[in-house]
Structure 1
């Protein structure tokens, strides 16, 4: 039975569950991101892995810029490689079983870390191995959610990935502050070791969720695709073959795949101009890069160190405040991305974030924070206001877009390339931030402020509005030469009055007896056709 209806579209409880279970991949990502900032300050960790002027005296132990950068950033190198490997894995094994394999790899990385005793390179290698899994999951999870979720609430359900990232960061902060009082290696090993729990939950839970209907359809398994869609929409099993909504959506997927049958799906094909494939690949890669260049991970990776430098006595508490702001505001992001679409939140968010980063940098540059407590407080407020905007716009928005922007046959690889761009910049920022900060200190914030403003401008000129459209209709929109990014918010397939009336229906072809054809209705009213299937599918208005 349907849990509720959204603009006439039934939504089942399985749709909510699959989004939450898959989002554990985001929790793993967030937990691994959030833990390292506090671990670098733990006494036993510094005694074991830092360079100490006097052996056994933690006060003389400091991480060199290179060592700290490598420990933090090797996770990002792993995620970069993992994201690229995640695409063929998800295409070959399916979205669900790929996640199971990746969870096992993450656990191996955790074991390598917790068994390190005095060699910092072993800990760093463990983070690299875990990063392989995190990167692969970051490519697979948003695509799985976008391909499986009912399109009316696709934005909200896909955004739960970012919500769980922020939840993972917050949990890491809370566990770290509780574990820092533990004597010896237990302080940091507890924080790292608990990370085994999260992939176990994901690997077990995802086995009970339906496989992506588009992945199943791509392999000709249409009966299973109908079952997957029916479960997500709360349609009983005995009605899945007769329910008009399910039948028409599967036929629309089938028609789109038939239209794309000449589209190759290799890595090089992601960079071919046909069907605006190259455009969308570069768009996804740019958005993911710009998400990193907002500067959010400047605070998440080095937040404890940053706030120690502005004179905050207990930087662990400040980290929890930032993590809590990030987590709570992401709930607002679920509403914002569902209510206002994709373009407007990203544009407004870019401007808002730029403004508060400018305040942060200006305050830290104008006076020495350690000597002016009020300046330090202003910088913390500015950081919180930045996180407020980021958590509601750029943080969830970009992950949503990665799942819904690309064509079905190349979606996994284009999503992987985009995600790899995120991790490349993640690594560059994680590794070079200590060097940059030592050279220009808080003026670093001006760089991020400029990047946020550039991101808002980029979105206005290049991003199409994809909310409240099926993934197949999004593909049509990008291929409509009369549709421009700044007019895309009002685009609907020809004959439709609004996106809220949008749905597909099967129309009999000709006399209904001869071999049919698939018509792909383009935004300019023209059609392209290919023969070889039994139905003619077109998108028409439904009042």
Structure 2
């Protein structure tokens, strides 16, 4: 299918900041606060939960990481749900489910009820993680898609920071009240999300799949940099969705699409380029979590305790971790569309390797030194943690979500993105629920050396496998994964179509 292009005789207009697209991306990405807040608040809350409910270290690992496992249900269901009811109402559903989970956790009288709340909240998180980047990528113009699609990671980091602040604010309350307030306050962002979504339009690509071309055109005109770009985007979407026009008149629109047959196309009979896209999505999500980010964020109070900090100082230090992480994600947000995905991703992982090695070395020295506090090692440990979360935030954090939302074909995008979320949450759950056991087996310093090895493998994978998508439309980004045979076949189809047009 020939790509739509802007005619050469049309005047080129200066790009403007599309505040409407920015506002929509901002509101949609607020769903990611839910995951961030849970990660941040649980890092401190588990200290008080363990003491109040008299649970073991194994139970601590489970309650800290089980939300990632439960989120698989939401992530797997979100793709089909968003194809059925639309991206917009799936965002509302994510917020509503998490609200119920947060309330149950805040009122939990026992470990069992706490697990029930974790289950409900986890389903909501799974929905939120999948839908925010997909909606934003489908709405955003190509010139700022990287910037806007990184918003979910910005809000994850903001949520982590809020969670840390909540820990510090409620830590001095009575034991039975403090941790319950920490968890229950997480219900508040859900209310804001439900209100904000009322001002958001539906995804134009979803509207085209439903045959609602006029609605899609209106949304594209409001979210594109220029009217010409809106026409090009609509033409590309119609071509991919199978809309047939003759003489400028629509004679056929696709049947309403609710995700039927997508799993077959993804796993049973995938085209070669779909298989390559799926491997890229699975790889980038796996390595993001397997390089240890949740261990650093979730267990940072324990790491600071190992470095010799008091309990109060450890909680305050985690606020510094959250502030650093949030600050540097903003750096990535404003540079993604300038420098591209690959340079930031490779730079991020290279720096993560160095900081993980520094953290592993410093904690090993501290663990083996029993005659007093080793000041230089403590300083190196703190600097390495701050450096790690900073370098993670400039590449590995946001680009994972941006890249996955860009590369899948339109028909497969929602459920393909949900596969990435599933891999992300499975890996995150495995890392967060095994860190304490791994630390006991190979020492806490050894655990971070293992994560450094994973980061090396990630760097090699990204360097050799992932193409650059900066400045490409979503339809063009998909074509980067076509092999020579597929590209040649597509060229033959285009020649045939041009021949028909000429005839």
Displacement of 1:10 in angstroms is 4.5
CA separation of 1:525 and 1:184: change in aligned 2, threshold 3 A = closer
Q: Which residue of 1 aligns with 2:53?
A: 49
Residue 175 (str. 1) matches residue 166 (str. 2): yes
Matches within 5 A, 1:334-413: 334-368=333-367, 371-413=373-415
Q: After TM superposition, give the deviation of residue 477 of structure 1 in Å.
A: 2.4
**Which residue is 1:18 aligned to?**
24
Show the counterpart of 1:494: none
1:464 aligns with 2:464: no
Match of 2:8? none
- How far has the Cα of 1:452 moved from its partner? 0.9
Provide the secondary structure at the position in 1 that maps to 2:387. helix
Q: Counterpart of 2:294?
A: 297
| Alpha-carbon separation, structure 2, partners of 1:189 and 1:366 | 37
> Within 5 A, what are the aligned runs for 1:444-455?
444-455=447-458
Counterpart among 141, 150, 153 of residue 159 in structure 1 = 150
Is the contact between residue 479 and residue 523 of structure 1 (CA under 8 Å) also seen in structure 2?
A: no
Which residue is 1:35 aligned to?
41
Instruction: Determine if contact 1:351/1:456 at 8 Å carries over to the other structure.
Output: yes
Match of 1:510 in 2: none
Encode CA deviations 1:114-173: one digit per residue, 9 max, x unaligned: 1212x2121122112101110111011100000001111000001111011101100111
Matches within 5 A, 1:482-501: none
1:249 correspondence with 2:233: yes
| Cα 1:479–1:205 shift into 2, 3 Å | same
Q: What secondary structure, in the 3-state scheme, does the structure 1 residue paired with 2:211 have?
A: coil
Per-residue CA shift, 1:484-504, capped at 9, x if unaligned? xxxxxxxxxxxxxxxxxxxxx
SS in 2 for 1:207: helix
Q: CA 1:321–1:7 in structure 2 vs 1: closer, same or farther (change >3 Å)? A: farther
Q: Partner of 1:270 in structure 2?
A: 266
Residues 281-317 of structure 1 deviation map (CA, whole Å, 9 limit, x = unaligned): 1210111010001211111111111211211112101
| Aligned equivalent of 2:249 | none
Cα displacement (A) at 1:254: 0.3
What is the aligned partner in structure 2 of residue 88 from structure 1?
80
Q: Distance in 1 between matches of 2:490 and 2:421?
A: 34
Q: Which residue of 1 aligns with 2:493?
A: 528
User: How far 1:268 moved relative to its partner?
Assistant: 2.6
Deviations 1:443-474, CA, capped at 9 Å, x for gaps: 11111101111111101111111110110111
Which of the numbers 414, 423, 426 marks the counterpart of 1:424?
426
Deviation at 1:189, TM superposition (A): 2.0
The aligned counterpart of 2:208 is: 217
Shift in Å, 1:31: 0.4
Using the alignment, how far apart are the partners of 1:207 and 1:473 within structure 2?
31
Looking at structure 1, the residues matched to 403 and 38 of structure 2 have their Cα atoms a distance apart, in angstroms, of 23
Number of the residue aligned with 2:304: 307
Query: Which deviations, in whole Å up to 9, do the C-alpha atoms of 1:55-110 show, x marking residues without a partner?
Result: xxxxxxxx422100111111111112211111111111100101111211111111
Q: Residue 26 and residue 265 in structure 1: after superposition, are their counterparts in 2 closer, same or farther (change >3 A)?
A: same
> What is the DSSP-based 3-state SS (H/G/I as helix, E as strand, rest coil) of the residue aligned with 2:108?
coil
Any conservation in 1 of the 2:341–2:399 contact (CA below 8 Å)? yes
The number of residues matched between the two structures is: 471
Q: 2:95 aligned to 103, 119, 126, which one? A: 103
- Which structure's residues are more often helix, by fraction? 2
What residue ranges of structure 1 are gaps of 5+ in the alignment? 1-5, 51-62, 236-242, 483-520, 537-543
- Residues 6-27 of structure 1 show CA distances to partners (whole Å, capped at 9, x for unaligned) of 9844542111101111111111
Q: TM-score by structure 2 length?
A: 0.88
Q: Give, in whole Å, the separation in 1 of the partners of 2:347 and 2:17.
A: 30
Provide closer, same or farther for how the CA distance between residues 187 and 367 of structure 1 changes in structure 2, counting only shifts above 3 A.
closer
Supply the distance in 2 between the matched residues of 1:138 and 1:82 (Cα, whole angstroms).
Answer: 9
Q: Post-superposition shift, 1:335?
A: 2.5
Which sits farther off after the overlay, 412-421 or 522-531?
522-531
Alpha-carbon distance between aligned partners in 2 of 1:357 and 1:392, rounded to the nearest angstrom? 16
Question: How far apart in 2 are the matches of 1:220 and 1:10?
Answer: 30
Q: Is the 8 A contact 2:272 2:483 kept in 1?
A: no
Q: SS of 1:528's equivalent?
A: helix
- Conserved 8 A contact 1:349-1:456: no
Q: Counterpart of 2:409 in 1: which secondary structure?
A: coil
Q: CA deviation at 1:339?
A: 1.5
- Mean CA deviation greater in 285-294 or 266-275: 266-275
Structure 2 unaligned runs (5+)?
1-11, 245-253
Could you tell me whether the CA contact under 8 Å between 1:367 and 1:375 is conserved in 2?
Answer: yes
In the TM superposition, what is the alpha-carbon distance from 1:213 to its structure 2 partner?
A: 0.4
SS in 1 for 2:220: helix
Question: Residues 193 and 251 of structure 1: is their aligned pair in 2 closer, same or farther, counting only changes over 3 Å?
Answer: same
Q: Cα deviation per residue 1:175-231 (whole Å; 9 max; x = unaligned)? A: 210111122432112211211110111121112111110011111111111111122
